[in-house]
Chain A
Amino acid sequence: MFGDFFAAIGDILTSESAYINAFTFAVFLAFGASGEWVAEKSGTLNISIEAMFLAGAFAAAVGLDRSGSEVTALLFAIGASLLVALVQAHMSHNLAANQFVVGLTLNILVLGLASFLASELEFTTTQSDTIAIPLLSDIPLIGSALFDRAWLFYLIYAVVPICWWIVYRTRWGLELRASGENPQSADVSGIDVNKRRRQGIYVVGITSGVGGAYLVLAAVGQFEDSIVGGRGFIALTAVIFGGWTLRGTIAGCLLFGLVLSFRLSLPGLGYELNGDLLAAAPFLVTILVMAVFAARVRPPNGLAQPFIRGLK
């Protein structure tokens, strides 16, 4: 049994297509997770990332059908996702409604909206073409997984560094981190804490919009309302897995991406595994990983706590 397991892992690690599958999911997660990391640095545990992914995916599908342009579709996606972010941000960091309540409600609302509209509107999507980067795509095993991809995939090479840069190298990022670590002190220092937190949510809105567009246009090729299917929460746990470092978050995305890809990769490699188990595996692994790591990492001190001046 365990022998089989390790044999399977070994096969995956030596199979080019398995790498392609793993990175497909990992990059999807990483789009959301890198923005989520920014939001969490500012003090928001943003569970509406699920809704943001879905809104992005839906809008990208409709946008592509209506405009025929993938760039326009991406803008549609970012717009829709930002709209979710706007509601989340203002309800939780302006009206001071509980952020989990708002996030949960948005998840349910957007799922309802997307499936309602998907059945009311007619649209078709096509999968975008891959662009091979000369030389790099020839690297054995991982070359085509990383460098022979749709153009949306390559955006990850910009999104992750940008997220890091704005958080650690700009005054905005310093203020954002201060808002997440000690909102009272940040406020007394003259920082508009809730504004920084709202902006943190806009960042995850943008990146998960890109993630949604990537998912529907580059990874899957068509929209269905179960396209995100709880994977937003996995992106969110990647941040915890990473101990609120961007490097760790990306590592989490790679790990979870790999597990998510089992369902595609293993049957292709000739392994007959229980389908339900494979479908549940990413979630089980996520829970297990948190059980191991959650107690060891230190979250931002103000995470998930609303800030209202005068209330401690």
Chain B
Amino acid sequence: MVADDHSSGTHGAVAGSSDPAAAPQRAARRRAALRLDGVTKTYGAVTACDRVDLELVPGRIHGVLGENGAGKSTLMKIMIGLVLPEEGVITIDGDRVRLEDPTDAARYGIGMVHQHFSLVEPLRVWENVALGETGKLRPADVRNRVGEISERYGLDVDPDDVVGELPVGMRQRVEIIKCLRRDPTILIFDEPTSVLTPAESEGLFETLRQVVDEEGRAVALVSHKLDEILHATDEVTIMRQGQVVDRVVTADTTASALATAMVGRDVSLRSERVALGVVDTAAEGTEIPDTHPEDEPTVLELDGVTIRGRDGRTLLDDLSLSVRAGEIVGVAGVEGNGQRPLGDLLSSLTALDDGEVRVRGATVAAGAAGAMATAGIGVIPEDRHDSGVVLDMSVAENMALIDAPAFQRRGLLQKSALRERALHLIDDFDISCSGPDAPLSSLSGGNQQRVVLARELSASPAVLVAAQPTRGLDVGAIEYMTDRLRRAAEDGVGILLISSELEEILDLAHRIVVISSGRIIGEMSRADADLDRIGMLMGGQAA
């Protein structure tokens, strides 16, 4: 039996010896490939993992479910040696081990497929696959192995492609090959479907099945999405606030039971349930603001917008869309299909190669410093640390990044006025911090996000671009964010909601456009929205 001869940490070739008949059994007594007992890790006052127990069994897909902030990623980092726990025992195949760094973890047969990949873009596929291994570099061997693995799992990857030139879905396959090439006994997947179309997700789950059923590996699937946990796992561990709150066999549970365990109470608020992916919007209706944008003027127009990257690749391709006052337009699509360049364009960070951006009918000089903000475009950026905040400045200063000149008197910046305004906004947006002078870096991610939201909304923009606004937030914070967006729309702000969470878009948007490879390839009103059609569009197929 494959599962029982892992003691060396590595075994034969990728194929291993397989026994398809034995694998799917509910072999509860089978020896765990990896066990965590009472693992604890604290960061200052926060206990990210509190006496966590976890058992990964060969031949099974084990889901780790939890909200953002529940401790999932700390747990993962512990399993791959990026974080050392303060307490607790890690056992692999019955031996107690200490995982000091990723190389240790790899030696014990633990491999991980990262959400944000561990790939080096300018290098070729085979070079990336070889990265982190030891021994003499044999390019021909690595290339062959990549080809073999790619073929076995139907991944269709060319070892000589440069990773940076591959679409995101393909990069994940490279990541998977990199992981499998080391022939791990334990595979950890971190939010793997966020970069995949529905069809690609199906393909991934098939690969996972192959890996556990035919090859007897143990898989951990870490996710905050209920449907993917329900769909793809055999058993699931649910985490909340650093603790394991429940452990169930997936077949014996339901979405709402999981949601309740994950959040810690009955999930009644529908936006919460949207965030968790357990709302059937067709049956329950939506939270779309009750505005009638069709009668309102257009506030934002993108007309034939084309942007090419420095390497000459087309990032946005003849993209046109418009937003009316009080309207929420959702841009749906799989990550990496132009959402980021679109957000950058509306943040003045990119110039246009072709086309035009108009706000309230007036053309805006794309790429000129501050032009979009001056024209009335507020932005909640996808990565606030990139273009949303200055970490080393205070909360008050961060709120005044754009309108500082308004606080100038006799040449000097009126710090007291800045502080006063900040106090007001801190109160208004319920920001938890030690005061207006607190450095922004001392705030939690959710509160940093609120500082951005407060600044952008208090400027009374014509348009608000919300790029992945709820990413990384916990359920309560998501609720707050969506509520704010809805209220802004009701106040007449046109909102461009760029999100890879389809549920979020279905729940909020009047109108949905689907982006793929930098083009808008489909548009529909919410009333006509059809999941199958959106799914196909997201995969780049015009339907």
Residues of A within 8 A of B (CB): 169-171, 174-175, 177-178, 181-182, 184-191, 298, 300-301, 309, 312
Report chain A residues within 8 Å CB of B122. 181, 300-301
A174 smallest CB distance to B (angstroms): 6
Asked if residues A189 and B137 are in contact (CB atoms below 8 Å), the reply is no
B92-110 Cβ-contact flags toward A at 8 Å (1 or 0): 0000000001110010000
Partner of A174, one of B102, B103, B131: B131
Asked if residues B137 and A170 are in contact (CB atoms below 8 Å), the reply is yes
* Number of B positions contacting A (CB below 8 A): 26
Asked if residues B106 and A181 are in contact (CB atoms below 8 Å), the reply is no
Nearest first, the 8 closest Cβ-Cβ pairs linking A and B are A189-B132, A188-B118, A190-B102, A190-B103, A171-B137, A190-B132, A182-B120, A185-B118
Asked if residues A188 and B114 are in contact (CB atoms below 8 Å), the reply is yes
Partner of A178, one of B103, B106, B123: B123
A178 smallest CB distance to B (angstroms): 5
Asked if residues B103 and A177 are in contact (CB atoms below 8 Å), the reply is no
Complex Cα spacing A174 to B122, Å: 12
A176 smallest CB distance to B (angstroms): 11
Report chain A residues within 8 Å CB of B120. 177-178, 181-182, 185-186
Partner of B131, one of A169, A186, A309: A186
**In the complex, number of A-B residue pairs with CB atoms less than 8 Å apart:** 58
Report chain B residues within 8 Å CB of A189. 102, 118, 131-132, 178
Asked if residues B137 and A191 are in contact (CB atoms below 8 Å), the reply is no
A295 smallest CB distance to B (angstroms): 10
Asked if residues A190 and B137 are in contact (CB atoms below 8 Å), the reply is no
Report chain A residues within 8 Å CB of B123. 174, 177-178, 181
Tell whether B232 is near chain A: CB-to-CB under 8 Å: no
The verdict on A182 contacting B121 (CB below 8 Å), with A175-B131, A190-B102 known, is yes
Complex Cα spacing A187 to B137, Å: 19
Q: Name the CB-closest residue of A to B132.
A: A189
Tell whether B292 is near chain A: CB-to-CB under 8 Å: no
Most buried by A among B119, B136, B137: B137
Report chain B residues within 8 Å CB of A182. 119-121
Complex Cα spacing A185 to B135, Å: 20
Partner of B130, one of A171, A186, A298: A171
Can you show 14 pairs from A to B with CB atoms below 8 A apart? A169-B137, A171-B130, A171-B133, A171-B136, A174-B127, A174-B130, A175-B131, A178-B123, A184-B118, A185-B119, A186-B131, A190-B103, A190-B132, A298-B311
Complex Cα spacing A51 to B119, Å: 35
Complex Cα spacing A190 to B182, Å: 13
Complex Cα spacing A155 to B441, Å: 52
Complex Cα spacing A181 to B69, Å: 30
Asked if residues B121 and A191 are in contact (CB atoms below 8 Å), the reply is no
Report chain B residues within 8 Å CB of A185. 117-120
Complex Cα spacing A289 to B172, Å: 40
Report chain B residues within 8 Å CB of A174. 123, 127, 130-131, 137
B window 272-310: CB within 8 A of A: 310
Complex Cα spacing A187 to B123, Å: 15
B363 smallest CB distance to A (angstroms): 27
A303 smallest CB distance to B (angstroms): 12
Tell whether B385 is near chain A: CB-to-CB under 8 Å: yes
Q: Name the CB-closest residue of B to A169.
A: B137
Tell whether B134 is near chain A: CB-to-CB under 8 Å: yes
B window 188-239: CB within 8 A of A: none
Q: Name the CB-closest residue of A to B122.
A: A181
Most buried by B among A175, A177, A182, A309: A182
Partner of A171, one of B121, B135, B178, B385: B135
A98 smallest CB distance to B (angstroms): 16
A147 smallest CB distance to B (angstroms): 34
A173 smallest CB distance to B (angstroms): 8
Tell whether B433 is near chain A: CB-to-CB under 8 Å: no
Asked if residues B130 and A190 are in contact (CB atoms below 8 Å), the reply is no
Tell whether B82 is near chain A: CB-to-CB under 8 Å: yes
Most buried by B among A177, A186, A188: A188
B186 smallest CB distance to A (angstroms): 15
Report chain B residues within 8 Å CB of A186. 120, 131
A175 smallest CB distance to B (angstroms): 7
Q: Given A175-B131, A190-B103, list of 10 further CB < 8 A pairs? A: A169-B137, A174-B137, A178-B120, A178-B127, A181-B122, A185-B117, A185-B119, A188-B82, A189-B102, A312-B385
Q: Name the CB-closest residue of B to A302.
A: B120
Most buried by B among A169, A178, A309: A178
Complex Cα spacing A298 to B164, Å: 14
Complex Cα spacing A186 to B128, Å: 9
Report chain A residues within 8 Å CB of B131. 174-175, 178, 186, 189, 191
A58 smallest CB distance to B (angstroms): 38
Report chain B residues within 8 Å CB of A171. 130, 133-137
Report chain A residues within 8 Å CB of B127. 174, 178
A7 smallest CB distance to B (angstroms): 41
Report chain A residues within 8 Å CB of B106. 190
B window 55-87: CB within 8 A of A: 82
Complex Cα spacing A182 to B103, Å: 18
Complex Cα spacing A177 to B137, Å: 14
Complex Cα spacing A178 to B120, Å: 6
A297 smallest CB distance to B (angstroms): 11
The verdict on A188 contacting B102 (CB below 8 Å), with A174-B131, A312-B385 known, is yes
Asked if residues B132 and A191 are in contact (CB atoms below 8 Å), the reply is yes
Report chain A residues within 8 Å CB of B102. 187-190
Report chain B residues within 8 Å CB of A170. 137
Complex Cα spacing A246 to B409, Å: 56
Report chain B residues within 8 Å CB of A184. 118
Report chain B residues within 8 Å CB of A175. 131
